[in-house]
Amino acid sequence: MAYSLGIDAGGTYTDAVLIRDEDGTVVEAGKALTTYPDPIGGIKSSIGMLDAEKLKGVNIVSLSTTLSTNTILENKGFPVGLIMVGDYNIPDILPAQMYCLVSGGHDSNGEELESLDIEAVKEFALSVKDRVSAFAVSSLFSVRNADHELRVKEEILKLTGHPVVCGHELSQDLGAYERAVTAFLNAQLIPITYNFTKSIISEMENIGMNATLLMLKCDGSAVSIEEALEKPIETIFSGPAASLMGAAYLSGLKTCAMIDIGGTSTDVALVQDGLPEMDDSGAVVGGWATRVKAIRMETVATGGDSHVYATDDANRKIHLGPLRVMPLCRAAVLYPGFLEKLRENKLPPRKSISQFILPSVFYVKTDFPPIEMTTLEELVYEVIDSDFPTSWSDMFERLNKKMPMSSVLESLVKKRLIQPIGFTPTDALHILGDYTEWNAEASLIGAQKEERLTYKNAEELAIYAKKQVAKNMASSLIEYLVPGITKRDVEKVLSGKYHTKFAVSVPIVLIGAPSSAYAGEIGELIQAEILTPKFSDVGNAVGALVGNGIYRTDILIKKNIRDEDDLAITEFILFHGGQSEIFPSYQTAHDKALQIGTDFVMSKMLKTGLKDNQISISHTEKNLQIGGDTPYESKISFVGVGTSRYDIQADKIPDFVKFINPEKSKRI
């Protein structure tokens, strides 16, 4: 029997699923805690929960991971030398510490503006070659003519042997600086992705799997591991993309909205007619704008691990996030004896109470190396244990009867040197009995410890936290579906005070471990059909596997009028992949564009294991007309869609989908 394996290494959990190839049925799933900073440990654990004999029959492994995203967010990429060619606007702040600007570049027609200063490139490359692991290069209008980028790449390879990433290889959009950032971040990720891939392949060999390895991109498509190694930047945000593809597959719907309830955040996205809705402006990661095409998504900083707390202010306000903490219920399982420690902990002095100093808040050291700490940070860091949670009262005693400062604890948390533990929505679900994966007693004790601050008993606090999470999800969904609507207006309607309610015309599919727990609350807030499919708790891993079969590329045709022997000659320039070709008429250029685009998309999709008879390619055109009979500029966008390896029949859907509406729940 043949199977396929999907893996998603998320922020909190790493999921693995086995799908039977003959009918596309999910037959097994494994869920383990994600390991940091190397996710391979969590991947091994989740795979280890699956049937060993079935694993030997796996033909395809597809992976989505937060590795690229976390590497950029935590600024832990390998050192890269950045070369920018041409006179274009560069902000004062760059992601690169080692960079140079050299003369060169082209204009919008692909004509050379200035000769390339190759000697300056050589001098820079030789000066940093022992301090970097790769180089990135971006040249002005390289999407119209990549000659200067390619010459820089060739020269650096000869001088250093290091990998070189060119901007035109990653994006066909204009914006030399954004392409430079994209190329730089991509170059940072190459060694990390290579080592990670080696670990995955080694694990596959240990298990006895002889399978094709794919990786999910942030546009919802899977690519060959060779392309993933060349362009690891395109795997950022592959987690939400996997969730979206998994939601569509598990529900059997080609059009649906998705809410992915994670540990750190909740993501909202939409798939329409089988294709994810895209954000053409490019993904933003770690504050850096890139030219990476990604699904359009709305993210709210609310998840199962968001901190729920109060500080006894005059308004009795209960806060929800954005700080992520380890739930008390999980800490009680991971650290034997923590339950008694939690029970004994007292309320701190009123003047010291803050988000970081509470009777239910504890800390443990992480595996991140301590660097760049102040003297106060060093003192506090030294009194926190590595193998058992430390309370504020522990620190007070170890600091010679001095209270730790909230600002110091906050700084250590932001530097990821200590992991906070506290009351979360996951704890709330444990109190209410909606989700009981861990130790519910710890959740109850933690809520009781906060009663003097929240002015709510344990059950009231749990109900409040659950409703607030659901309201944040509903708000995020509406803001996604109605661009431009204000958060204030959304909150007014969701408050229920104005005798009106939002109605959503597409089904909403919930994905994530606690998804079924929130379906009822979301249904009370908005009029919609809400679905919680079987295996929704591992929907990301399902999406990592079924999300293969989409590829996009753009081709530009531009009219150009040049003088030749006092005659105005009209020609049409076709641009694609940093190359250009001139045609005497628009029609010949257009015909060539259709051929190039179709062949290019087909060749890329065949590398994912699809057959040519499983691939359909369509195109759309956007024309800019400025007088005359032919467009001044045409952008032709090609989309290839592959037939899924798994053909889910509509009459099978009721076997594993639960439909929930605002009035009642029913199974069909």
- pLDDT digit string, tens, across residues 296-336: 888 787 888 899 999 877 677 899 988 889 999 999 999 99
Structural domain span for residue 148: 80-185
Structural domain includes residue 484: no
Answer yes or no: do 438 and 310 share one domain. Answer: yes
- Last residue of a domain, which of 418, 433, 461? 461
Q: What is the pLDDT of residues 470-516, one digit of tens each?
A: 999 999 999 999 988 998 999 999 998 888 999 999 999 999 888 88
315 shares its domain with 425: yes
Within a domain: 42: no
Closest CA to 81 of 98, 101, 102: 98
Same-domain pairing of 316 and 453:
yes
- CA 657, 660, 661, 664 torsion-angle sign: positive
The helix (run of H) or strand (run of E) holding residue 31 is strand 25-33
Residue-averaged pLDDT of the chain: 86
Which segments within 481-566 are labelled E, that is strand? 502-503, 508-511, 526-527, 530-533, 550-564
Phi and psi of 430, rounded to 5°? -65, -40
Residue 286 binned pLDDT confidence (cut-offs 50, 70, 90) = low
Answer with the one of 185, 211, 233 that is the final residue of a domain.
185
Looking at the structure of the chain, the number of domains it has is 3
- Specify if 59 maps to a domain: no
- Whether 658 has a pLDDT exceeding 50, the answer reads no
| CA–centroid distance for 415 within its chain | 21
CA gyration radius for the chain? 27
Residue 481 within a domain: no
Same structural domain for residues 311 and 457? yes
Alpha carbons within 13 A on the beta-carbon side of 398: 14
429 lies in the same domain as 571: no
Regarding predicted confidence, which is higher, 257 or 628? 257
Last residue within a domain, chosen from 461, 489, 508 = 461
How far apart are alpha carbons 168 and 195 in whole angstroms?
Answer: 25
Amino acid at 286: G
Do 446 and 561 share a domain, yes or no?
A: no
Whether 633 maps to a domain, the answer reads: yes
The reply to whether 456 and 557 lie within a common domain is no
pTM of the model: 0.77
Give residue for tokens 């595996």: 367
- If asked whether residues 320 and 430 sit together in one domain, one would say yes
Closest CA to 531 of 513, 511, 546: 511
